[in-house]
Amino acid sequence: MSVLACKGGTPVIDPKEYKRAPWPPVDMETAEMLKDLYLSGKWSFNSEMEQKFEQEFAEYHNAEYAVFMANGTVTLECALQALGVRPGDEVIVPGLTWIATAMAVHYVGAIPVFADIEEDTLCLSPEAFEKAITPKTRVVIPVHLYGSMANLDRIIEIADAHNIAVLEDCAHMQGGKWRGKGAGSWGAIGSFSFQQSKTLTSGEGGICITNDLELSDRLYRAKHIGYSRLDPQGAAKSAPPADLICHNYRGLAFPALLLSRQLKELPARIERMKKFAAALKELENIPGVRLQSPGKEASPQGYYAIEIILDPAIWGKARTAAAAIHSEGIPVATGNYGPVYKHMLFNCRNFRNTGCPVSDFMGEQAFSLSHTGMEYPEMVPFIEKAFRKVYENREEL
C-alpha cells in the first residue's frame, strides 16, 4: 500500500498539476471595457450597464424583472421587506445553510424558524417545512445548496396552501433550471450572490429576480433609498410605501460589466461541469462514499459545488479524511458550513428549535469540491485514485 501524502508519501497528483479554472476569470478585452466604463463616468445610480446586466440575467433565468444590489445578503433582506415581513413574523429557513440566510431574517426583526434538510439533496425538506408552519409564518426560504435544488414543486404547493411566500436563496445556483425554468423564477422572489467564490462573480454583488412588477418596485425602493424606477422621467418623486425601510444597497456599473461578460460563458461552463459530475459518480463505487443528488427536476443544476458525503462508520470523521484527500493534491474543501440553527445568535434567543439531525450530520460528514475544480473531466481518475488511497489507508488517519 502506498504511503499517504499526509504521512510523508507522494501525492496522487502534484496540486500544481491539477487543472482548475483560473478564478476569478480575467481577460484583456474586459479590462479595456472597464477602462471605457471608467472614462464614461457612468458608474452608479441605475447605470446603463447595470440595467443591461439586469435584463440579461432576468432573461437567462426566465424572470421579468431583476434588481442589482451590493451583495447576496442585502438582496435577502430587501426581498423579505418587499414581501412585507414585519417584526415578530416567522420565516422558515433550512437548518443547514450559510448564516446570511438566517441573518437576513434577523435584520428585518423577524424570527428564523429552522426546519431540517433532505438526506439526498441537502436542501430544505418539504415535510419539515410543513411541520414548522404556524399562523405567524409569512415566508419560507428554500436554499438551493451547493450542487442541488430544493424540491420547488412540493415547497410551492405547501406554501400556496398556507398563503406563505417563497423566497428562493439561489446564492449557489446561477444558471440552474428546475424543469427547464430558471432558479429564482419559481418563488415570489429569487436572490443570488456574486461574491468571489460563486460561479458568476464580481468580487461582491447580488441580484433579486421576480415576475411581479410591484415586488420589483419594492425591491428597487428598498435598495435605492426609497426611489422608484417607475416614476416617469422628470416627474415629482413618489413616496415609498410607509412599511418599507429603504437603504443604500446599490450595486455599481463595474461589477455589472464583469457579470455580463461572464454570463455569456456560463452555459459552456455548466456543460463542462455536467460532464465532470457524471464522471465523478464513479466515486460512489468506493464503500461509504455518496454524492449529493442534484434535485429531482434540476436540469441543469448550477454546479457551484458537489458535496461528497462520507459514512462515519467506514471513514470516521469526514474532515480528517478530507484533509488527507486534500494532501493527495485534490482541491476538496476541508471544512463545511455548520448547522446554522446552532449558531450562538439563534440559540441564545427563544427560537423553537426542535433540532435538525440531518443538518447536524451533513455539517460533520459532507465536504465540497467547488466549481473551479470541476471544469476538467480528465481530473476525475486522480480524484478516484486519491479517495481509494485514503480509503485503503483510513486506519492510519
Ligand X SMILES: Cc1ncc(COP(=O)(O)O)c(C=O)c1O
Determine if 369 is a binding residue for ligand X (CB under 6 A).
no
Q: Which of 54, 169, 217, 384 binds ligand X (CB under 6 A)?
A: 169
Determine if 112 is a binding residue for ligand X (CB under 6 A).
no
Determine if 123 is a binding residue for ligand X (CB under 6 A).
no
Contact 143, 114 (CB under 8 A): no
Q: Which three cell numbers stand for residue 275?
A: 460532464
Identify which of 115, 120, 101, 113 has the alpha carbon closest to the alpha carbon of residue 362. 120
Q: Which of 101, 121, 201, 327 binds ligand X (CB under 6 A)?
A: 101
Nearer to ligand X, 71 or 148 (CB): 71
In the complex, least distance from residue 208 CB atom to ligand X, rounded to whole angstroms: 12
> Where is 106: in which H helix or E strand?
helix 99-107
Place of cell 445578503: 73
CA distance 61 to 267: 12
Q: Which of 13, 60, 73, 185 binds ligand X (CB under 6 A)?
A: 73
In one-letter notation, the amino acid at residue 155 is: I
In the complex, least distance from residue 355 CB atom to ligand X, rounded to whole angstroms: 21
Listed ranges 167-175, 217-225, 228-236, 248-256: which one lies at the site for ligand X (CB under 6 A):
167-175
Determine if 105 is a binding residue for ligand X (CB under 6 A).
no
Query: What x/- string results for residues 177 through 196 when contact with ligand X is judged by CB under 6 A?
Result: ----------------x-x-
Determine if 143 is a binding residue for ligand X (CB under 6 A).
yes
Distance of CA 74 to the CA centre of its chain: 14
Q: Which of 82, 100, 325, 386 binds ligand X (CB under 6 A)?
A: 100
Q: Which three cell numbers stand for residue 333?
A: 474543501
Determine if 246 is a binding residue for ligand X (CB under 6 A).
no
Listed ranges 26-34, 93-101, 158-166, 340-348: which one lies at the site for ligand X (CB under 6 A):
93-101
Nearer to ligand X, 150 or 289 (CB): 150
Q: Which of 47, 66, 89, 97 binds ligand X (CB under 6 A)?
A: 97
CA distance 285 to 390: 14
The 8 Å CB, 24+ separation contacts for 108-113 are 108/77, 108/80, 108/81, 108/245, 110/80, 110/85, 110/86, 110/138, 111/136, 111/351, 112/341, 112/346, 112/351, 113/137, 113/351, 113/352
* Distances from the Cα of 52 to the Cα of 47, 65, 259, 297, 326, angstroms: 9, 12, 10, 30, 41
Number of residues that bind ligand X (CB under 6 A): 14
Determine if 171 is a binding residue for ligand X (CB under 6 A).
yes
Q: Which of 47, 54, 68, 72 binds ligand X (CB under 6 A)?
A: 72
CA distance 352 to 324: 38
Determine if 114 is a binding residue for ligand X (CB under 6 A).
no
Nearer to ligand X, 78 or 380 (CB): 78
Residue 310 phi/psi, 5-degree rounding, is -110, 135
Nearer to ligand X, 173 or 380 (CB): 173
Question: What is the binding site for ligand X (CB under 6 A)?
Answer: 71-73, 97-98, 100-101, 143, 169, 171-172, 193, 195, 206
